Amino acid sequence: MIDGRGWGSRLLRIYLPVVVCLVVMLFPFYWMLIASIKPNRELYNAKIMPLIVYQPTLQHYYDLLADTNFLVWTYNTMLVAVITTAVSLVLGAMMAYPLARLNFPGAAIVAIGVAATYLVPQPLLFIPMADIINKLELGNTLSAVMLTYPTLLIPFCAWLLMGYFKSVPRELEEAARIDGASRFQAMWRVVLPLTTPGLLSAGIFAFTLAQNEFLYALIFLAKSEVRTVPVGAITELIRGDVFYWGQLMAAALLGSIPVAVIYSFFVDYYVAGLTAGSVKS
């Protein structure tokens, strides 16, 4: 039995901080929700309590879906995010495995270079990237961002996977090599299955970054029918000094649903991937 003093201490030490964190984290989503279902007469009335909806409506969602290309933007975003995530995971794993498992001259320098590449700011890269895309005549196509996003995602995936590959005991791989497996077979059948949490963690991060990327999409995708959600919502729902807040919040809320669903399904693997030390010999 827990006495009153113990319960009060537990309430202050555990439940109160958890509730405060939940309120802080969920408040932006609550704000987006109520702003997206408020009629304009409430949304732009400063005398009405901003955190309460008196006459909820779905008009903003209807206007977003009927008057804009939001469904097309969503399809473009998902297509680009899935393809770039898959490519980045494959190439990132191919880069991370030799850096983590093989001893060769210059491995440490290459590993530092991978991390440094990820830290290079996007504004320093978009000018040469734009020049390459223009020479390839890929402007206003999804191929433009599919080629540029991996330049950010591959170093990130490689950097994240290197730590996880190092946590796999070498004895398991050596045993597979003794049994006749090649280096590739040992990696495919031994190392990669044990690093599934790390791969999922890197994939979720890469998918999130690809879905939310703004700068390259803004530069390379000028036509409405090829835009992604972040660019389409900002460029077409903000016209001069007029902000369509109801539709903007509806677009932001709907755009965050795919990532929230993915995190909810793979949360256990995601946490295990972040710890990068759950594999035991």
Domain boundaries, the chain: 4-57, 60-275
Q: Radius of gyration (Cα) for the chain, nearest Å?
A: 24
Predicted local distance difference test score (pLDDT) of residue 280: 42
What's the helix, strand, coil split of the chain in %, to 5? 75, 0, 20
Question: Could you tell me the CA-to-CA distances from 154 to 88, 163, 190, 247 in Å, in that order?
Answer: 5, 15, 22, 34
- Mean pLDDT of the 111-133 span: 83
Token pair for 175? 């045993």
User: What is the 8-class DSSP label of residue 270?
Assistant: H
H or E element, residue 239: strand 238-239
Q: Looking at the domain covering 60-275, what would its CATH class be?
A: mainly alpha
Q: Is-contact 57 38, C-beta < 8 A?
A: yes
What is 119-180 written as a DSSP string?
A: HS-GGGTHHHHHHHHHHTT-TTSHHHHHHHTHHHHHHHHHHHHHHHHHTS-HHHHHHHHHTT
Q: pLDDT digits over 206-252, tens only?
A: 998 899 899 899 989 989 899 999 999 999 998 878 889 999 999 99
- Mean pLDDT of the 58-82 span: 93
Q: pLDDT digits over 136-168, tens only?
A: 888 889 999 999 999 889 998 998 888 888 888
What is 241-259 written as a DSSP string?
A: TEE-HHHHHHHHHHHHHHH
* Least confident stretch, 27-36, 132-141, 257-266, 268-277: 268-277
Distance between start and end Cα atoms, the chain: 40
Distance between CA atoms of residues 36 and 30, nearest Å: 10
